[in-house]
């Protein structure tokens, strides 16, 4: 290895290049071999040779599930570097993904607006620089003003990607919904197109895990969800939605069975799961 380069992951796996120089390949075949990741490059090695992907050229990384029983591939990482796209299924998949994202994103400086939205209400905060660091499934943002934001990937409810004028320039923007101390907030993240694309691939994983399926809720259940989403204390819900305590308790039971709420400490204290926040957000948008 070159000076300053060190190995991070060395594992077995399977891989296939599906796009070469911008063109989709028809001769797709999963190849078994070694997956070697360093802090500077990714090497895919077979008995017939090896292919090197410089990490500086990687512009997009996403994780996907698939059913490929003949190839014995259940999940893979989709990596775009320049005009090439490669699918990689590593045996040590979790470690490979964590090390890859950390190497690509750790110490990246981004622009952050936090909280941009709190309890469904737009806040007055502005954009600040922040240094990003990954810790497992958590994105840590150290903002220059001194604030520290922990964004748990498993807690991500929805993600919106758009373009917006920020500090006088048109920039890519991610609006990421999650919770802080039980309250729904949105953290907005911007930066270079490459950095935003890489962060999006990571937070989208949480969104997909918590995606809201079609759920048939009663009007009362929807009212309770929207009240919780707005930041109303679980103890004040009966008064806020004009329902009896016992009736609210029954609603809580049904929503917990549907994995929309989770109990916190006492029988009557609950908080929204990411799936529940997604449903509540949609319901409020329809009002």
Q: What is the pLDDT of residues 11-57, one digit of tens each?
A: 999 999 999 999 998 888 899 999 999 999 999 999 989 999 999 99
Is the pLDDT score of 266 beyond 70? no
The whole-number pLDDT of residue 91 equals: 92
pLDDT at 78 over 90: yes
Report how far residue 190's alpha carbon sits from residue 213's, in angstroms, rounded to the nearest whole number: 29
The answer to whether residues 75 and 169 belong to one domain is no
Shared-domain flag, residues 115 and 69? no
- Predicted confidence at residue 107, as pLDDT, reads 96
For residues 236 and 182, what is the distance between their CA atoms, to the nearest angstrom? Answer: 15
Which residue reads 């923007």 in tokens? 173
Q: Give domain status of residue 139, yes or no.
A: yes
Instruction: Verify that 59 and 144 share a domain, yes or no.
Output: no
User: Are 154 and 240 in the same domain?
Assistant: no
Question: 186 and 128, same structural domain?
Answer: yes
Backbone angles phi, psi at 146, to 5 degrees: 110, -10
Do 67 and 149 fall into the same domain?
A: no
Same domain flag for 152 and 226: no
Q: Give a yes or no: residue 164 inside a domain.
A: yes
The total number of structural domains that make up the chain? 3
Q: Is residue 101 part of a domain?
A: no
| Burial group, residue 170, by CB count within 10 angstroms (0-12, 13-18, 19+) | exposed
What are the tens digits of pLDDT across the range 191-247?
A: 999 999 999 999 998 887 766 555 678 888 889 888 887 778 888 888 988 999 889
Are 51 and 84 in a shared domain?
Answer: yes
The DSSP 8-state label assigned to residue 110 in this structure reads E
| Same domain membership, residue 197 and residue 151 | yes
Among 245, 152, 251, which Cα is nearest to 203's? Answer: 152
CATH of the domain at 118: 2.30.29.30
Could you give the CA distance from residue 249 to residue 176 in angstroms, rounded to a whole number? 30
Question: Could you tell me the two tokens for 223?
Answer: 């009212």
SS3 assignment, position 206: helix
Is 152 strand, coil or helix?
strand
**How far apart are the C-alpha atoms of 10 and 18, rounded to whole Å?**
23
Looking at the predicted structure, is the pLDDT value of residue 271 above 70? yes
- Given a contact cutoff of 8 angstroms between Cβ atoms, the answer to whether 153 and 206 are in contact is yes
Q: Which of 75, 100, 103 is nearest to 87 (CA)?
A: 75
Q: 98 lies in a domain?
A: no
Ramachandran assignment for 220, one of left (phi > 0), alpha (psi -120 to 50 degrees), beta (any other) = alpha
Domain membership flag for residue 239: yes
Element (H, E) at 71: none
Q: How far apart are CA 120 and CA 228, in angstroms?
A: 11
Domain that holds residue 135: 106-212
- Among 153, 179, 212, which residue terminates a domain? 212
Q: Based on the domain organization, do 200 and 132 belong to the same domain?
A: yes
Q: Which of these three, 190, 212, 234, is where a domain ends?
A: 212
Confidence at residue 67, expressed as pLDDT on a 0 to 100 scale: 58
> Model confidence at 85, in pLDDT bands (50, 70, 90)?
very high
Contact 90, 10 (CB under 8 A): no
| DSSP code for 204 | H
Residue 221 sits in the same domain as residue 145: no
The whole-angstrom separation of Cα 183 and Cα 227 is: 11
Q: Give a yes or no: residue 141 inside a domain.
A: yes
Please check whether residue 211 is in contact with residue 203, taking contact to mean a CB–CB distance below 8 angstroms: no
Domain boundary among 194, 212, 230: 212
Closest CA to 148 of 130, 135, 126, 173: 130
In a domain, 234, yes or no: yes
| 14 is a domain residue | yes
Q: Where are the alpha helices (DSSP H) in the chain?
A: 93-105, 193-209, 219-229, 237-241, 245-257, 274-285
Residues 53 and 143 in one domain: no
């Amino acid at each position: 290895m070159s000076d300053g380069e060190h190995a991070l992951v060395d594992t077995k796996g399977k891989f296939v290049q599906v796009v070469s120089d911008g063109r989709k390949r028809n001769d797709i075949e999963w190849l078994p071999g070694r997956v070697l990741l360093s802090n500077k490059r990714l090497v895919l090695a077979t008995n017939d040779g090896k292919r090197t992907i410089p990490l500086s050229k990687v512009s997009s990384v996403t994780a996907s599930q698939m059913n490929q029983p003949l190839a014995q591939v259940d999940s893979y990482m989709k990596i775009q570097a320049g005009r090439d796209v490669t699918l990689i299924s590593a045996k040590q998949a979790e470690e490979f993904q964590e090390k890859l994202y950390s190497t690509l994103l750790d110490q990246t400086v981004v622009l952050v607006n936090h909280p941009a939205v709190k309890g469904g209400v737009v806040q007055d905060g502005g954009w600040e620089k922040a240094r990003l660091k990954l810790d497992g499934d958590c994105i840590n943002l150290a903002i220059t003003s001194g604030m520290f934001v922990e964004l748990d990937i498993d807690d991500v409810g929805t993600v919106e990607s758009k373009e917006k004028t920020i500090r006088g320039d048109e920039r890519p923007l991610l609006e990421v919904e999650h919770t802080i101390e039980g309250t729904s907030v949105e953290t907005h993240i911007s930066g270079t197109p490459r950095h935003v694309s890489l962060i999006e691939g990571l937070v989208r994983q949480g969104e997909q895990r918590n995606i809201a399926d079609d759920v048939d809720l009663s009007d009362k259940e929807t009212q309770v969800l929207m009240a919780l989403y707005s930041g109303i204390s679980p103890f004040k819900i009966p008064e806020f939605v004009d329902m009896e305590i016992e009736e609210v308790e029954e609603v809580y039971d049904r929503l917990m069975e549907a994995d929309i709420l989770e109990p916190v400490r006492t029988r009557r204290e609950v908080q929204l799961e990411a799936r529940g926040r997604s449903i509540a957000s949609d319901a409020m948008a329809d009002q």
